Amino acid sequence: MSYMLKDSIGYRINLVATTLKTNFTKLLRPSFGIAAEQFATLKIISEDNEVTQTQIAELLGKDKTTVGRSIDSLLKKGLLAREDIENDRRANRIFLTPKAENILGSAIPLAQKFNETVKSRLSKEEIETFFRVLDTILEESKNMKIKKGDIK
């Protein structure tokens, strides 16, 4: 049995994810000056203004350092603001600025259209099955026990 990269689930998922992220960024950047992952960060914060950097990292599947850099970039662009939390000098809250709220208001319809276009050749049942399969793959990969370069 030979291993072919094109038959790897991880390779195929990554190829699709990278292509989607690149194309969505091409759609967002000219009008809004943000990339796909920055849009996702803003959207997450808009849905839960108590979300932490750690939670954002988990939701995006990124490490905290990468998310921290993204948040710093959004702060510099004036899309996020930060305020200290009373009684905890180490913690602070990040929230959307009005500029970010305006961007999201205009970008969300683009995101919806982009998503609809990507799914346009799939039936509702195919999409539901696809999401179930992805959830199963995600759960299995999170539960994998890897020790000394081997899978247990």
Backbone angles phi, psi at 98, to 5 degrees: -55, -35
What is the structure's pLDDT at 84?
Answer: 75
What is the structure's pLDDT at 88?
Answer: 66
Determine the straight-line distance between the first and last CA of the chain, rounded to whole angstroms: 21
Q: Which CATH architecture has domain 5-110?
A: Orthogonal Bundle (1.10)
* Amino acid present at 35: A
Relative orientation angle of helices 9-32 and 98-119, to the nearest 10 degrees: 130
* Amino acid present at 43: K
What is the structure's pLDDT at 150?
Answer: 81
Give CA–CA dist 45/101, Å, rounded. Answer: 10
What is the structure's pLDDT at 78?
Answer: 97
What is the structure's pLDDT at 53?
Answer: 87
- What residue segments make up the domains of the chain, in order of their start? 5-110
DSSP per residue, 38-60: HHHHHHHHHH-TT--HHHHHHHH
Give CA–CA dist 92/84, Å, rounded. Answer: 4
- Profile the chain (152 residues) by mean pLDDT over runs of 10 residues: 90 97 97 96 94 90 93 96 75 89 97 97 98 95 83 74
What is the structure's pLDDT at 89?
Answer: 63
